[in-house]
Chains A and B, each alone.
Chain A
Amino acid sequence: MDLLRFITAGSVDDGKSTLIGRLLYDTKNILADQMEAIERASKTRNTGEIDLALLTDGLRSEREQGITIDVAYKYFQTPNRKFISIDAPGHIQYTRNMVTGASNADLAIILVDARHGVVEQTRRHSLIASMLGIPHVIVAINKMDLVGNSEDAFLEIAKSYTDLAQKLSIRDLTIIPVSALNGDNIVDRSVNMNWYTGETLLQVLETVNVLKDQNQDDGRFAVQYVIRPQTEELHDYRGYAGRIQSGTFKKGDLIKVLPSEQESKIAKIEFGGNEIEEASVLESVTILLEDDIDISRGDSIVSLNNSPIVSQDIEALVCWMDDKKQLKAGNKYVLQHGTARSRCSIRDIEYQIDINSYEKLDAESLKLNDVARIVLRTAQPVAYDPYQKNRANGAAILIDETSNVTVGACMIE
């Protein structure tokens, strides 16, 4: 059984929390005491009906305001798969949280209110899903019960969404009519929408192939830590600890260390102190080389005949996340890419992207939630792949040197 991470995004009141609550409830993942707590809390509120949204609204301020203010994680499973649900807030000023949640997601569920169709937030969430390279997108057209479960209403919204998706790079799109409140087409097939013959939401969640999404071609390994026990019996042991970012490595492979360009051969791969034949994407292993060369945290080990780009000049899409300071050309930050950190300066804001109209705009500076294409120069060379080709080796963050806060999410182009 494997693991799927998915994010849900939608406008305020699209019923996101209700949808997650419904998924948990219909897959029997809500425990008795949690259900009782929700029943208790529901009674003290308005209608007295059981509010499945209360399952995911965790913090006190969220319960008081009835909104989700931060990224929340829920865990559940069915006989076929384990799921991590990432609940990203829909409130307009919290776009940075959706980017955060989307960065680790295999799949995005974008909620659309059947009464309102594709709105500004839908365009925004779709752009983020596409920009962050989420391989699979499900558009759940919710509250179908409020438009009389009408097939025409569904087809109209589906058509306008498909038009929108053509402007983006969404690889795998599924559109499903649902009612989270009534449980239609979430886990169980709707009896109110017999005209819909496609898969239910859970069927898609259980069957999308996420293994195929991983880059299995380009051997990339960022060194996190050098293991040197320096005991008598392990006097000369020098192991490079890290996680395979993409591709596969095996004993005997010819490799190159970046940015130093030194070449060597893999002597051994170990996991938990035991030798293994080979290691592939996402595995945390230790690599030993035949030659004694100088390697430290921040260096990359890559396949000899398949090299990433090594450069100090980088162009990237950035989502700006700082609510205090703006990004401007000339500003300096720390760029963290893989396990490497380098100082960098912003050379230029090429253009800002209007996340609703997708138009390119001129911009002098970026404020919280702005998305733009920027040019930056780093103090040390960075060994990267374009993000859309290799998520793990094309992602980077910008850190403010004085506050140490993460202020930008970069997708290197």
Chain B
Amino acid sequence: MSISVKEASGITTYRSTPDYLDQLEAEAIYIMREVAGQFERPALLFSGGKDSITLVRLAQKAFAPGKIPFPLVHVDTGHNFIEAIEYRDELAEKIGAKLVVRYVEDTIKAKGLKEQTGKNASRNWLQTFTLLDTIEEFEFDACIGGARRDEEKARAKERIFSFRDEFGQWDPKRQRPELWNLFNGRIQKGENVRVFPISNWTELDVWAYLKREGITLPSIYFSHERELILRDGKLLNNTPVIETDPEDQIVTRQVRFRTVGDMTCTAAVESSAATLDEVIAEITISRISERGETRIDDQQTEAAMEDRKKGGYF
């Protein structure tokens, strides 16, 4: 909240300018409430990562003292970090939210899908099928996600209310104009809207907010010793779901995860940052972007994210 003081004259004057975190928070809460006000069956896409943890806190504040009026939905690739999954379950229970989990594994079996094989195999792309099935199953008309525009160049062009057709597709050239804070969530049955309340936040803003709010995070975000696969300069979790070959080295390092996604495409960073303050200090001086450092999936082509989104990705 901005600080304002009453002076003797009775005129309100501002002692200080509003803080950017308050401004971003107020905007995100406004967006959350627009979703609840405009849609019949919204959902919050929750992964146990820091961005969706931020969303949950914002949703709590938006609807307090009531509960969050929509379920948390997680698309589980089966290759997620156990720490994130445990955190997800504990949080949902603690705040009394409804949690819906759907498994990529089940989609693969039901649809007879072919999984990628080999050392860089990932279920990242397959998540889209499970997500679209889940949207259909529950008839979700709006899905709130934790994507930020500073993450990636295709995301920098996406609307806060991002319209998807009945096939879940994003068409960057036919986006609805988004004016002022007048979000247009009118859709036909079968279509849906992806909503990104923290579009205007940066990675550092998220960390600063988590610190200010005193939120605990899954332990993998902080420095710990871990056995890893060293491949092409990137450190991947040493787990049976990642196939190794003789060129890979198994190493033990002091690391933390800067983003928490599917294990097959999320790399660790060497770090001694064990607290929120140390993490914030580390990111502040870091000269490499979040996804550039940790995401293998974005680096396959110059337009990797753009192409995935057109296909219905988060």
Contacts and interface: CB of A to CB of B under 8 A. Distances in A.
Contacts of A118: none
A69 B26 contact: no
Contacts of A74: 150, 156
B232 interface: no
B64 A272 contact: yes
Nearest to B291: A33
Given A31-B289, A100-B179, A276-B1, A241 B18 contact: no
B177 A33 contact: no
Contacts of B150: 74-75
Interface in B231-252: none
Contacts of A338: 182
A362 interface: no
Nearest to B67: A229
A272 B24 CA distance: 15
A58 B20 contact: no
Contacts of B292: 31, 33-34, 37
Interface stretch (A109-117, A372-380, A404-412): A404-412
Name which of B1, B37, B153 has the most chain A CB atoms within 10 A of its CB.
B153
Contacts of A60: 302-303, 306
**Is the interface on chain B under 10, 10 to 19, 20 to 34, or 35 or more residues?**
35 or more
Interface stretch (A123-131, A177-185, A394-402): A394-402
A33 B66 CA distance: 44
Contacts of B119: none
Interface stretch (A149-157, A220-228, A258-266, A304-312): A220-228
Interface residues of A, number: 72
A405 B18 CA distance: 34
A58 B157 contact: yes
Contacts of B212: none
Interface string B58-77: 00111111110000000000
Interface in B277-314: 286-289, 292-293, 302-303, 306
A228 B69 CA distance: 10
Given A84-B200, A271-B61, A280-B4, A334 B36 contact: no
B37 A224 contact: yes
Contacts of B2: 280, 283
A82 interface: yes
Contacts of B30: 224, 243, 284
A63 interface: yes
Contact of B157 (A41, A71, A96, A392): A71
Nearest to A61: B173
A242 B62 CA distance: 9
A82 B20 contact: yes
A33 B293 contact: yes
12 contacts: A2-B18, A2-B23, A3-B23, A31-B286, A32-B287, A33-B287, A71-B157, A211-B14, A211-B18, A270-B65, A280-B12, A283-B22
Closest 3 CB pairs of A and B: A273-B64, A58-B153, A33-B292
Given A58-B154, A237-B66, A409-B177, 11 more contacts: A1-B20, A2-B23, A3-B20, A104-B180, A224-B34, A234-B65, A241-B62, A279-B1, A297-B37, A395-B182, A404-B184
